[in-house]
């Protein structure tokens, strides 16, 4: 499984620092990989609509996230706007954001 994750918007948004990150789930430590797979399954990611939520009017500092998951021939992209309505989806976003931070900090 591969996940691509990107954040757009937010306070002090700097586009160059928010490039999409591709996470090879199979290359992660087993516990992290299992957790990501479990979260993708829990939110029924491949059944989600392509857009979830929209920032409240005048909410210029709200973030939006784009998640693309590829798994066994399946491919789906979802764009999620804050505030995130589903706690399980928020947990998936938090986990992907943490993995993206780790990957950015270990990049040369």
Residue ranges of the domains in the chain? 2-106
**What would the two tokens of residue 78 be?**
């979802």
Contact criterion met (CB below 8 Å) for 79 and 51: yes
Residue 97 structure tokens: 């954001």
pLDDT at 90: 95
DSSP readout, 24-88?
EGGGS-HHHHHHHHHHHHHTTGGGS-SEE--PPTT-TT-EEEEEEEEETTEEEEEEEESSPS-HH
Q: Which pLDDT tens digits describe the chain residue by residue (108 residues)?
A: 999 999 887 665 555 556 888 999 999 999 999 999 999 999 999 999 999 987 667 666 778 899 999 999 999 999 999 888 899 999 999 999 899 888 877 766
The tokens of 104 are what? 């950015």
pTM for the predicted model, two decimal places = 0.85
């Amino acid at each position: 499984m591969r996940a691509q994750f990107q954040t757009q918007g937010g306070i002090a948004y700097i586009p160059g620092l928010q490039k999409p990150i591709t996470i090879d789930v199979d290359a992660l430590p087993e516990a992290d990989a299992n957790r990501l797979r479990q979260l993708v399954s829990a939110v029924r990611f491949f059944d989600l609509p392509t857009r979830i939520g929209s920032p409240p009017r005048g909410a210029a500092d709200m973030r939006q996230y784009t998640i693309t998951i590829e798994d066994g021939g399946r491919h789906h992209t979802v764009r999620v706007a804050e505030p995130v309505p589903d706690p399980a989806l928020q947990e998936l976003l938090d986990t992907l954001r943490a993995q993206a931070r780790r990957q950015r900090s270990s990049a040369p």
